[in-house]
Amino acid sequence: MGEQVHTQPSFIAVDAGSHFPLQNLPWGVFNRKAGGRRRVGVRIGEWVVDMAVLQARGFFNGPCLQDTAVFDKPALNDFMALGRPAWQEARAALQALLAADTPTLRDDAELRTRVLHPLSEVTMHLPTVIGDYTDFYSSEYHAANVGQMFRPGDDPLPANWKHLPVGYHGRASSVVISGTQVVRPWGQVLDADESQPCLLPSAELDFELEVGFFVGPGNVLGQPIPIGQAEDHIFGLVLVNDWSARDIQRWEYRPLGPFLAKNFATSISPWVVTLEALAPFRIPGPAQNPAPLPYLQTANITYDIQLEVALQSPTMAAPHVICYTNYRHLYWNAAQQLAHHTLTGCNVRPGDLLASGTISGPAPGMFGSLLELAWRGTKPISVGQHETRTFLKDGDTVTISGWCQGAGYCVGFGQVEGKIVPAQAAIKE
């Protein structure tokens, strides 16, 4: 990787604290609220760059992008499939076009009107058609906390945990864009003093602070992706809230793990931040001991991404931060997750989503779920001045933010937000 940081300003005014300066340029899919089809856009400041218009005008005529029309599409899958040379070609051309000393777009008022849309005038959509979704369990702090809660007196980590990235296949159809309301799910629940389960709305609804990545080029069925090539198959990262119904999961998870407790909603942020934009923030990951098997051995590079979770109830004037942690606390990195996922020859495809699992840090205020923050409901946490929580209540809005802090600039993800709404009416026989 090792991209040089683009220090030249853009002719588009960007606030100093913005997540979206010229150094970022994340990708998404939008349509104008005034009408029009979905197409690919890039964000800078409070503006969305219409990539389809630019491509139609011949601004992307390099060897990887000419005659492709990949931006006049309702999803990023086709662009993702082209691979890193095409991604870099588009990024370089766009950074040059948006630079302060480039007059091409800056001085053409008619073209600017067609290309630049105020963020307030567009609707954001899922960035890809997600064929498959996989959720990992890659934070040692989170896994150890859960082990201490549910297996007191035993080793908090399962015997396999430091030998492979534990994961499970999730439900792609219920991945939703930030801002989508989350309906409290029904499920079978077994109360502690009962012998038979009841059908109830979940009383232990939780968030999970995660970061996911989208697959770019896939692999052929039967051919694993080697660890040394894994990053070339990763297009970029998004924030993920993998909502979880803890009481439903507690009853159903043996022997096959999460099912209804996870399949009702997974929220993601709309802007995909590329590995090129994150390159200046590459750092060593945690030491891995014992050493992984050779197919998982890598330089163990991760990213310094600051993460924050805030909760706001209907009675609160402003959100209250309840968690602050960092992506660097993941034990298994994205390359290892992808290499392990495809070890069997499992084929991943452009637009597939792989998420990290809950990201927790070493201190209580760095725990990435209410299950941990309130320690399985035994230690309610303060939310604002007058409220406490063990799990989420109807009307609560959870907002996850993430950013990398550079020297005088910020590369961020924006937010993923979701509001809990009451369960639907009682399910009839």
163-201 burial, b if ≥16 CB within 10 A, otherwise e?
eebbbeebbbebbbbbebebebbbbebeeeeeeeeeeeb
Strand 47-50 to 175-177 pairing: unpaired
Count the Cβ atoms, other than its own, within 10 Å of residue 296. 21
SS3 at position 138? coil
Distance (Å) of CA 307 to CA 35, 262, 310, 362, 380: 35, 22, 10, 14, 22
Structure tokens at 13: 């005014």
- Comparing CA positions, the residue from 107, 105, 88, 89 lying closest to residue 97 is 105
**Which residues on neighbouring strands pair with residue 30, listed in sequence order?**
39, 124
Q: How far apart are CA 243 and CA 264, in angstroms?
A: 8
Residue 384's region, left for phi above 0, alpha for psi from -120 to 50, else beta, is left
Structure tokens at 47: 């503006």
Q: How far apart are CA 31 and CA 314, in angstroms?
A: 30
Catalytic entry in 6, 19, 117, 142: 142
Strand 47-50 to 387-389 pairing: unpaired
**Which residues on neighbouring strands pair with residue 50, listed in sequence order?**
41
Backbone φ, ψ for residue 397 (5° rounding): -115, 125
Q: How far apart are CA 203 and CA 192, in angstroms?
A: 13
Q: How far apart are CA 78 and CA 92, in angstroms?
A: 19
320 part of the active site: no
* DSSP string for residues in 388-414: EESS--TT-EEEEEEEEE-SS-EEEEE
Alpha helix stretches (DSSP H) within 227-352: 246-252, 275-278, 334-341
Distance of CA 30 to the CA centre of its chain: 18
Structure tokens at 351: 């637009």
Which amino acid is it at 58?
A: G
Catalytic residues: 142
